[in-house]
A and B are shown apart, each in its own frame.
Chain A
């Protein structure tokens, strides 16, 4: 570990032995430097996330408790737990719950199917497609679904040719149910991305061992596969919950505000569509989202700790 003595990171500054400098002083300086080196190396990251993540979040929390005139108040919070805002939270939580459990299960099956496939090209295509589609959303996503399942979409036309037009059976793309269907388009790929490494942790040797001991496929899954995967699957679903809860652009462009969701309400406040004197409602809504997501996050942390204990 010879480099330890002179190693500095990133900043590229070293302490040259100044000519004539007395050695004890030099050694003290080096010791001091070695002590602060980890701090210096971590400083850019810590400062950046503090400024970019910490301050804005703190600002939202603080303003949630301030009235328009700057006084401390609980008024904003009591407003957002009532009436249409309360409905927004209920809808958003329900939407996030459905679009985390359903795509979570489907994504798990898909990831398993892809991973056990023998085609390397298929695996690569799906891996990259998941990365791209998990970030796909908003107006683009809305458009291709209108072109597919909208009242004049091509799939609707095909289905109505065989007298199965879904719109005649109560289907509406611009409803809550429609939003669920569209959200799965980025939620399933997200689950595939999150769960694939965990599936890799399911060692083939375990299955072989189980088979050598006479276990059927069912009992292998019941006693080995499911217990090992369950924490990661739950962790993945909690992430999907956060993603579905936060999605704004897709729901906004698809339903044009007919489905009441918290992110859309925040967008309306930011765009100025709010009764004057209630501008801080937006921050209170943001704070409410943070509370819901913090609970999700704590659950995720608990589940993750279990998962790492299993996979060690």
Chain B
């Protein structure tokens, strides 16, 4: 399911999520603190126990003993490399298409057509309410034959699925910078539009673009509904098919892709945060 990704990265740029400074109140209310502990423990248990189960299952052999055979065997399985390669290609094409489509559009709307933001808000929320399964019904019916024969039809559809959170991420990124001043400065120094976009806007949107990119990749690497109904063996479809042969290996693949994406996203957000902090310190001495 596509998700709305809010200003994960942007909040970090601005110096962290706004803290609720209820500290005196919190001291007065030890009950609230205990309650927070309970929430964290319960949520931790609900989210981490299945992850633990998945990891444990990935590192077990058929008789239940600890083994790395499943992880080591992944690349040698029939069809794995083809499926992985197909998913990577789809992810690359989807990401490039989405950014080329959305970065200029979102920037232009912020700069020149603020009234259109409501329209964009509305249109980009539609892919959340139009179920992928209904969308693929229509896409398979409406797409011309030559396009239906190509796996990249999926990429075209994934761009739509990625719209909600890519737009929201970019929108938050654009709201956080003084776009108008930056663009006017660049233009009055003689910068052309293309170079303004490349040297002024893109660097300032780096955090937003990075997190949007990683989440687009996560979406493409995990999308099953459309790929299976369009009859292409992408990574999730392969996992599904292969699970009937060896569930350990199939689980190992899905755990690796989940944890890999999470670590990548966290690293990007953290690196970006420390970089923006450095920049702020440098400009602060002026």
- Chain A residues within CB distance 8 Å of chain B: 1-3, 7-10, 12, 38, 41-42, 44-45, 48-49, 52-53, 55-60, 63, 106, 109-110, 113, 115-118, 120, 123-125, 127-129, 131-140, 143-145, 147-148, 153-155, 184-186, 188-190, 193-194, 196-197, 199-200, 202, 204, 207-208, 211, 217, 239, 242-243, 245-249, 253, 263, 266-267, 270-271, 282-283, 286, 289-290, 293-294, 296-297, 300-301
For residue B224, CB closer than 8 A to chain A, the reply is yes
How far is it, in angstroms, between the C-alpha of A120 and the C-alpha of B229 when the chains are bound?
42
How far is it, in angstroms, between the C-alpha of A135 and the C-alpha of B29 when the chains are bound?
36
Also in contact, A267 and B133, with CB within 8 A (given A55-B138, A116-B19, A147-B57): yes
Q: In the complex, how many residue pairs between chain A and chain B have their CB atoms under 8 Å apart?
A: 301
* Closest partner residue, chain A, to B259 (CB atom): A132
How far is it, in angstroms, between the C-alpha of A131 and the C-alpha of B32 when the chains are bound?
27
Contact A211 B243 (CB under 8 A): no
* Closest partner residue, chain B, to A7 (CB atom): B193
How far is it, in angstroms, between the C-alpha of A116 and the C-alpha of B156 when the chains are bound?
40
Also in contact, A143 and B21, with CB within 8 A (given A9-B193, A53-B127, A63-B141): no
| Residues of chain A contacted by B273 (CB below 8 angstroms) | 124
- Distance of A7 from chain B, by nearest CB (Å): 7
How far is it, in angstroms, between the C-alpha of A286 and the C-alpha of B229 when the chains are bound?
14
Most chain B CB atoms below 10 A, which of A49, A139, A270, A271: A139
How far is it, in angstroms, between the C-alpha of A167 and the C-alpha of B251 when the chains are bound?
24
| Residues of chain B contacted by A48 (CB below 8 angstroms) | 101, 159
Q: List 19 A-B contacts (CB under 8 A).
A: A41-B113, A42-B113, A45-B105, A53-B126, A57-B130, A123-B16, A123-B17, A124-B273, A125-B266, A128-B265, A139-B224, A140-B254, A143-B247, A144-B53, A200-B11, A263-B131, A290-B134, A294-B129, A297-B129
| Residues of chain A contacted by B236 (CB below 8 angstroms) | 138-140, 249
For residue B137, CB closer than 8 A to chain A, the reply is yes
For residue B104, CB closer than 8 A to chain A, the reply is yes
Contact A113 B36 (CB under 8 A): yes
Also in contact, A120 and B20, with CB within 8 A (given A110-B43, A239-B128): no
| Residues of chain A contacted by B137 (CB below 8 angstroms) | 56, 59-60, 266, 270, 282-283, 286
Also in contact, A137 and B1, with CB within 8 A (given A56-B141, A116-B19): yes
| Chain B 102-130: CB-based contact to A (< 8 A → 1; otherwise 0) | 10110011001100100010110111111
Contact A267 B36 (CB under 8 A): no
For residue B187, CB closer than 8 A to chain A, the reply is yes
| Chain B 1-39: CB-based contact to A (< 8 A → 1; otherwise 0) | 111111110011000111111101110110010001001
| Residues of chain B contacted by A128 (CB below 8 angstroms) | 8, 262, 265-266, 269
Starting from the known contacts A138-B236, A193-B6, 20 additional A-B residue pairs (CB-CB under 8 Å) come to: A12-B194, A59-B141, A120-B16, A131-B8, A134-B1, A140-B236, A147-B57, A185-B46, A185-B47, A190-B1, A193-B3, A197-B6, A200-B18, A202-B20, A204-B19, A217-B25, A246-B133, A248-B131, A249-B225, A266-B134
- Distance of B213 from chain A, by nearest CB (Å): 12
How far is it, in angstroms, between the C-alpha of A173 and the C-alpha of B269 when the chains are bound?
36
Instruction: State the interface size on chain B (CB cutoff 8 A).
Output: 109
* Closest partner residue, chain B, to A53 (CB atom): B160
- Distance of A206 from chain B, by nearest CB (Å): 10
* CB-contacts of B31-72 with A (<8 A): 32, 36, 39-40, 43, 46-47, 49-54, 56-57
* Closest partner residue, chain A, to B215 (CB atom): A131
Pick the contact of B135 from A53, A113, A136, A154 — CB < 8 Å? Answer: A53
Pick the contact of A52 from B156, B194, B257 — CB < 8 Å? Answer: B156
For residue B200, CB closer than 8 A to chain A, the reply is no
